Amino acid sequence: MPHAPRRLTIATRDSVLDLLQAESIRARLAALLHAGGVIGVLRVPMHDDRIGDAQPSSNGAREGFIKELELAMEEGRADLAIQALKDVPMELSPGFTLAAVVARDDPRDAFVSTRYARAADLPAGAVVGTSSPRRAAQVRELYPHLAVESLHGNVDMCLRELDDGRYDAIILAAAGLKRLGLATRIASLLEPDECLPAPGQGALAIECRTDRRELVTVLEALGDRATTLATTAERAFSRALGGSCQLPLAAYAEWEEGSLWLRGLVANREGNDVVRGEMDADVADAEGAIQLGRDLADNFLARGASRFLSP
């Protein structure tokens, strides 16, 4: 491994969840620096403080805060940035690379309610809040008797609105709740068969400038091969279908007896028109993972999935 820099600065969005995520990487990165190395954290303020710890509600919001992090690296105020992989665009800005994807935390969605243990327990007309078109479409498909409404704000705001009675239940990413120390708020976890996760959900990505080759090599040591290949297949599937946070699209890959098993889903926002599919392959490297994602996307397109995609 090349000689690690004596001082590094991590850029992160200035929210409680992002700061916790950055701290988890900072602690692991500290072990790679030689004695006396210093790792700082640069809090990058975002222009829309409603985003907080929840999923951004639009491509513009998501790309906006990522541009802010990349600007900090371009200007030399930071060396790397930590982001939730599910929020990273499928195409990175020129001059930037994902140096590492760390071992994945819980990829599932969480059902949160003060009165009901499972989504299946909700009575007709119950109100479910979610910020994700992907989650909304799958809930509407499985439980057409429920009312699904938009959820906005950071996790604390979402939980407050639930507690105030605006919603009977809300659905959030399990990994985020657990990182915030709020696992006790989870009534139950939605298994992939019930609600397929977003591409990259539960994983953290480390981004830096492509020309920082020595730093890239150091950061690669933090990556997890199994997670990297699985999420590479998920993102390749999404990229091939032009996925965005406004398209109800899901993809989740997991290892089964040495093969990578990829499941995908695309739907309309109402959840009454859904295409599902799955495919497995022996995957040894990134190229194999990308090919698996593309092959599944081709299968979807052959079955008419283009009807869901923007022209």
Q: Which one has a higher pLDDT value, 300 or 54?
A: 300
Q: What is the pLDDT of residue 58?
A: 47
Contact criterion met (CB below 8 Å) for 54 and 154: yes
Does pLDDT of 35 surpass 90? no
Average pLDDT along the chain: 91
pLDDT band at 165 (very low <50, low <70, confident <90, very high): very high
Question: What tens digit of pLDDT does each residue of 90-143 get?
Answer: 889 999 999 999 999 999 999 999 999 999 999 999 999 999 999 999 999 999
Per-domain boundaries in the chain: 7-102+203-223, 109-190, 235-300
Q: How far from 210 is each of 1, 51, 172, 176, CA to CA, in Å?
A: 17, 28, 33, 28
> What is the CATH T-level fold of the domain 7-102+203-223, as seen in this structure?
D-Maltodextrin-Binding Protein; domain 2 (3.40.190)
Provide the angle, in degrees to the nearest 10, between the axes of the packed helices 225-240 and 286-302. Answer: 30
Q: How far apart are CA 7 and CA 27, in angstroms?
A: 14
What's the Rg (C-alpha) of the chain? 19
Token pair of 25 as six digits: 């990487």
Residue written as token pair 């090919």: 291
Residue type for 29, please?
L
Nearest partner of 199 among 264, 127, 149, 150, judged by Cα: 264
What is the homologous superfamily of the domain 235-300 according to CATH?
A: Porphobilinogen deaminase, C-terminal domain (3.30.160.40)
Please, what sign has the CA dihedral across residues 242, 243, 244, 246? positive
**pLDDT value at residue 309:** 87
Determine the pLDDT at residue 36: 63
From residue 54, give the alpha-carbon distance in Å to each of 26, 70, 78, 191, 264. Answer: 22, 20, 24, 20, 23
Q: What angle do CA 131, 132, 134 make, to 5 degrees?
A: 160
* Beta strands across the sheet bearing 274-281: 249-256, 259-267, 274-281
**Are 226 and 100 contacting, i.e. CB atoms less than 8 angstroms apart?**
no
Q: What pLDDT shows up at residue 229?
A: 98
Is residue 169 within 8 Å of 113, Cβ to Cβ? yes
Q: State the DSSP H helix or E strand holding residue 248, giving kind and residue range, or none if neither.
A: none
User: Active-site positions?
Assistant: 87
CA-closest candidate to residue 206, choices 37, 43, 84 = 84
| Residue 3 pLDDT | 59
pTM score > 0.85 for this model? yes
Residue 100, both tokens: 């590492």
Our separate counts of H helices and E strands in the chain read: 8, 13
Spatial separation of the C-alpha atoms in residues 142 and 136, rounded to whole Å: 10
Q: Please determine, for residue 303, whether its predicted confidence score (pLDDT) is greater than 50.
A: yes
Closest among 158, 146, 133 to 50, alpha carbons compared: 158
**pLDDT, position 33:** 77
Lowest mean pLDDT among 54-68, 129-143, 200-214: 54-68
Integer Cα distance of 124 and 250 in angstroms: 26
* Residue 4: predicted pLDDT: 60
CA neighbours closer than 13 Å in the CB half-sphere of residue 38: 4
Pick the CATH number of 109-190 from 3.10.20.30, 3.10.20.740, 3.40.190.80, 3.40.190.10: 3.40.190.10
62 falls in which pLDDT band (50, 70, 90)?
A: low
pLDDT score of 243: 73
Length of the chain: 311
**Domains 7-102+203-223 and 109-190 agree in fold:** yes
